[in-house]
Amino acid sequence: MKDLLRTADLTGDDLTLLLRLAADFQDAPESAHDLLTHRIVPMYFAKPSTRTRLSTAAAVARLGGTAVALGPDELQLRRGETIADTARVMGSYAAAIVIRTFADADVADLAAAAPVPVINALTDGHHPLQSVADLLTVQEHFGHLRGHRIAYLGDGGNVARSLMEAAALAGMDVAVATPPGYAPATEAVAFATAEAVRRGGAVTLTDDPFEAVKGASVVYTDVWLSMGDADDERTRRAGELAPYQVNEQVMAHARDQAVFMHCLPAHRGQEVTAEVIDGPQSLAFRQAANRLPAAQAVLHALLTERLEGRR
């Protein structure tokens, strides 16, 4: 497995390996400090980023390398150079390439042409690095993954898809509650359902947030609105998603000792209340911190060719 473009690229064993590596890097952050000595990792960001950009740069540094952050105006892509040509050139200098952009097809094209590993740092369709950090956080808190139910409320976009896929690979139960028209992509649902059943878990789709959180150990949400949404689109989405806000009433319907998770950035008063995200049940900021060992684990596993992937 050369690249990580979506969580569904992983096998169950791959995910187990990544979680073990990430936990090891939590305990010994600089244990592989010479893996990237004198090597660079270009990081192309066509979208804003806080956690992904900083955590991946820190991961590269802990592995002994140098991260080179690049934006759309800093490459010849704007002047018509093809993605394939860019990939070939970058690959002749770099140990790996990290990319955050819009279209999944662009990342796939980059990976197809690049001679080095390519890591999807978020696209419109997927967020695999986030899903590894998510499960690392759950495992760290509860000690194990099997037997736990994750309930996701809100918009079934890229974070929901990758979370479903990861939870299914771990044999967990996952419930996703969305309004009509916001459900996760059919492909992600099919993959997660098949993998969950194979490993003793289950996938539930519903439009009832209280049904989703019943019996859940983890309640998870993401932002409702994107920066590019027009004003009328933002108003419509806010209205349709309002019943899926995670608040104290919703958390009370989950299991005793249930935790709250959010990939951040958060908008208090929209998808989550301040009482929840800033309260004792919240793991959101531990989750953010875990983006670093998760990125370190992914880079290490790809660079040492330890992931089997799906063939």
* Phi and psi, residue 283, nearest 5°: -110, 15
Q: How many CA atoms lie within 13 A of 184 on its CB side?
A: 27
Residue 25 to residues 19, 22, 33, 233, 300: CA-CA distances in angstroms? 10, 5, 11, 42, 10
Dihedral sign, Cα of residue 214, residue 14, residue 186, residue 192:
negative
111 neighbors 2 (Cβ within 8 angstroms): yes
- Token digits of residue 259: 């935790």
Cα separation values, 211 from 116, 124, 196, Å: 44, 28, 19
- Say which DSSP state 195 is in: H
Identify whether 62 is a catalytic site residue: no
Active-site residue identified among 3, 9, 14, 130? 130
Catalytic residue among 126, 134, 222, 262: 222
Count the Cβ atoms, other than its own, within 10 Å of residue 81: 12
- Give CA 110 to chain center in angstroms: 20
Please tell me which residue in 6, 51, 100, 237 is annotated as part of the active site.
100
- Name the active-site residue from 3, 134, 263, 300: 263
Distance between terminal CA atoms of the chain?
9
3-state class (DSSP) for residue 271: coil
In angstroms, the CA 206 to CA 233 distance is 23
Tell me whether residue 208 is one of the annotated catalytic residues. no
The secondary structure element, H or E, covering residue 175 is strand 173-177
**Could you say which of 6, 51, 148, 291 is catalytic?**
291
Tell me the β-bridge partners of 258.
none
Establish whether 127 is a catalytic residue. yes
Task: Look up 144 and say whether it is catalytic.
Answer: no
Residues 294, 286: contact at Cβ < 8 Å?
Answer: no
Question: Is 130 known to be catalytic?
Answer: yes
**Catalytic site residue 155?**
no
Catalytic annotation, pick one of 51, 127, 149, 237: 127
Question: What six digits make up the tokens of 190?
Answer: 């099919």
Q: What is the full DSSP assignment across 181-244?
A: T-PPPHHHHHHHHHHHHHTT-EEEEES-HHHHHTT-SEEEE--S--TT--HHHHHHHHHHHGGG
Which residue numbers are catalytic?
100, 127, 130, 222, 263, 291
